[in-house]
Amino acid sequence: MLGKLFGRSGDRQAGNPQVLAPRRGKNGVATLRALGDPRVLALVEAADAGDWTAVKAALAPFDLGREQAVLGQLAVVDGVEEWIVRAAEEDKEHRATALLISGARHVHWGWEARTSARAVDVSREQWQTFYERLRTAEEHLLEAAELRPDWITPWRHLLTSARGMSVDDSVKEARLDAGLRRDPLNPDIHLEWVSQLQPRWGGEPGQALEFARKAFATAPDGHRLGCVVAMAYVEEWVESDDNNCLQHPRIRTELREAAERSILHHAYERRLGWHGDYNMFAMALSLAGSSKASNVFRELDGVFTEWPWTFMADPQKAYARFRKAF
């Protein structure tokens, strides 16, 4: 099993002996730049500069068609939308890659316009911008998927855009099937569907958790799919009016066993983005009042990822509070 990205012996990422030190605040909470990887930092800096040639060179170690963590880093870079469409038009050889980046960026950019406010609090202008950006995202992602039928990440983002666009359930299910055909155990596709199955998006209570349990049951020990169970419980907490709704012995047991069979199992491989997996379990176990949260926080060594703590009013303070409690 790979070591941590920093702080203790054996701290080496597969294929990358260098790591980026996290930025640690006064409360001991740390944030990573570019997933803690200098190769990803070079990619992000090239994208921020609008240098398509440098972006292509920095992409060499990665497979954006399958590596959602790396694609996610590009999707949040402000200004990418200003030049990536031109890159897709001018660079026919790498058109699919440019369209994939553009699609992911436009999905994120669209949600930025909508914000996380309740639907009734979103203005007409915000909705219009939201839909315009998502329509562009859909066009680019669908073409990328057509050009590269082996890729998985277009379908992950098409699930997100479908949720925002409120497309027919049959279309959403077709996109889910398309993603799972390419990788039946893909955690990112499953996580998107867990969100889709929430009552606020038209699902039924308990539906997401049932889906997550069935998916994880098919996974080998040490697989990331355990995170889907953790997020299904976090989403249940989000949907509930009871802040203590997860503090039940049965739930604590299930989350502890899921953690032990996934991220805490010796077969779990710490790939780029592994801190996000641990943060999902850290939040779920904390909300359940499970002592197993201490194991997860210890492994994180204070590293915080905004997701899924963004569901809380002050994400970083919530992380620090739970970390101290366990």
Q: Quick: pLDDT tens for 36-50.
A: 999 999 999 999 999
| The pair of three-digit structure tokens given for residue 108, joined into one six-digit string | 């994120």
Q: How far apart are CA 55 and CA 94, in angstroms?
A: 11
What global pTM score does this model have?
A: 0.91
**Confidence band of 72 (pLDDT split at 50, 70, 90):** very high
Please give the pLDDT value at position 19.
75
Q: Quick: pLDDT tens for 132-164.
A: 999 999 999 999 999 999 999 999 999 999 999
Is the torsion defined by CA of 57, 58, 60, 66 positive or negative?
negative
**Confidence band of 5 (pLDDT split at 50, 70, 90):** very low
CA separation (Å) from 175 to 7, 145, 269, 284?
A: 41, 11, 28, 28
| The pair of three-digit structure tokens given for residue 63, joined into one six-digit string | 């497979």
Q: What is the mean pLDDT of the chain?
A: 92
| Dihedral angle of Cα 216, 219, 220, 225, to the nearest 10 degrees | -60
If you count DSSP H runs as helices and E runs as strands, how many of each does the chain have, helices first?
A: 16, 2
**Does a cis peptide bond (omega within 30 degrees of 0) precede residue 187?**
no
CA separation (Å) from 164 to 32, 145, 171, 232, 291?
A: 29, 19, 13, 19, 37
